[in-house]
Amino acid sequence: MEEIQNIDVTKNPEPEVIIESTKQKQSEEVEHHCDEQQKQSQEEEDELRKLLLSDIGELPLSPPSATQLNFVSYFITDFTKPGHDHYIYRHANGLCVIGLAPTHIAFKDQGGITNIDFNVGKSDRSVLKVSGKRKKNAMRSESNTALCKVSTANDSYIVRCCVKGSLLEVNERLIKQPQLLNSSADREGYIAIIMPRPADWTKNKESLITSEEYKDKKQDGLLEPCLL
């Protein structure tokens, strides 16, 4: 992963305890309890601290993010229309997080995305209530089922599911904070979470491209550096 720059690496650091209250509290307690007990628990605490600190290894300047570690990134470009580029982050457990890829044409408009509306197709996706382990009432969607509509100053664009499966959740925080799509479309600005069946995923996967292929493909048209 190119983003980790191992320039500054610190090994076996020593801690500097900042917290004001604990040290004071401890000295008070020594007066109240017998020394034996205190000594033993102090020893245990020291043991614990040693264990905690000894395990700290290299500290890279910019470690891989949780998304990078836990998900595999896929992309699909020009989906149903040119410029409609999406990402699909697939977790090890099979769930897929869907969102707008950095090269989506919505980002090219002046001022970026100003509004999002989940009321598309036959129902408002943001009011779906999925319940239980079996995910009852989840909307079954095809890859081209409409998810939402994002609007900019000039235009509006339909965002589609890209993956066939059950729609578990849409990011309703976007309704009040559409700017999340502009600032962090790959994290807090995700659009939906979909659970595909294993058989459907295997078929779907064929139309997706990997992170590497995506970078190569859009070499010229990168709007902002890929934060993944």
Partner 1 sequence: MSDESKPASGDSAGLLNGHVTHCDPKTRRVNEAARSLHPSAVKDLLSLGVCERCILRLITVATFDSDLATVSSSTLRGWLGSGVEEAASPETSICIVCLGILQFVFSDDKQTLVKMKSDCGSGHAAWITDLVKQQGHEFDSFGLEVSLPSTISENERAVFDEAWLQSEKVSVKDALKVLVLDPLRASLGAKSDSSSFHIRLTYSKASDDAQGVSETTHERKKRKTDVVYADEENGSSCISENPFEKVYEPCILSVHCNQMPIFFSGRYFKYSRNVSQSRWIIDDERMGEASVEEIIGGSILPACLGDSYKFHAAGREDIDVRMLGSGRPFLIEVQNSRKCPSQQSLTEIEEKINNSEKKLVGVKDLKFIGSECWAMMREGEAEKQKQYAALVWISRPLEEEDCNSISSMIELKTPIRVLHRRSPLERERTIHWMKLEKIKGNTHYFLLHLCTQAGTYIKEFVHGDLGRTTPSMGSILGCRAEIIQLDVTDVKMGDS
Q: Applying CB under 8 A, which residues contact partner 1?
A: 10, 13-19, 22, 48, 51-52, 55-56, 59, 61-67, 70, 91-95, 97, 130-133, 135, 168-169, 171, 173, 180, 187-188, 190, 193, 195
Phi, psi of 127 (to 5 degrees): -105, 5
Smallest distance, Å, CB 181 to partner 1? 12
Smallest distance, Å, CB 122 to partner 1? 22
User: Cβ of 87: how many Cβ atoms within 10 Å?
Assistant: 27
Q: Answer for the pair 106, 152: CB distance below 8 angstroms, yes or no.
A: yes
Q: Name the residue nearer to partner 1 (CB basis): 16 or 31.
A: 16
d(CA 103, CA 96): 20
Smallest distance, Å, CB 150 to partner 1? 17
Smallest distance, Å, CB 129 to partner 1? 9
d(CA 161, CA 136): 19
Phi, psi of 196 (to 5 degrees): -85, 155
b/e code 167-198 from CB counts within 10 Å (16+ = b): bbbbbeebeeebebbbeebbbebbbbbbbbee
User: Cβ of 137: how many Cβ atoms within 10 Å?
Assistant: 11
- Judged by phi (left if over 0) then psi (alpha if -120 to 50, else beta), residue 83 lies in left
Q: Name the residue nearer to partner 1 (CB basis): 39 or 108.
A: 39
Residue entry with tokens 């909307």: 139
Q: Name the residue nearer to partner 1 (CB basis): 91 or 149.
A: 91
Smallest distance, Å, CB 51 to partner 1? 5
Q: Name the residue nearer to partner 1 (CB basis): 135 or 205.
A: 135
Smallest distance, Å, CB 186 to partner 1? 9
Integer-rounded Cα Rg, in Å, for the chain is 24
Q: Name the residue nearer to partner 1 (CB basis): 72 or 153.
A: 72
Smallest distance, Å, CB 157 to partner 1? 22
Q: Name the residue nearer to partner 1 (CB basis): 18 or 34.
A: 18
Q: Name the residue nearer to partner 1 (CB basis): 38 or 67.
A: 67
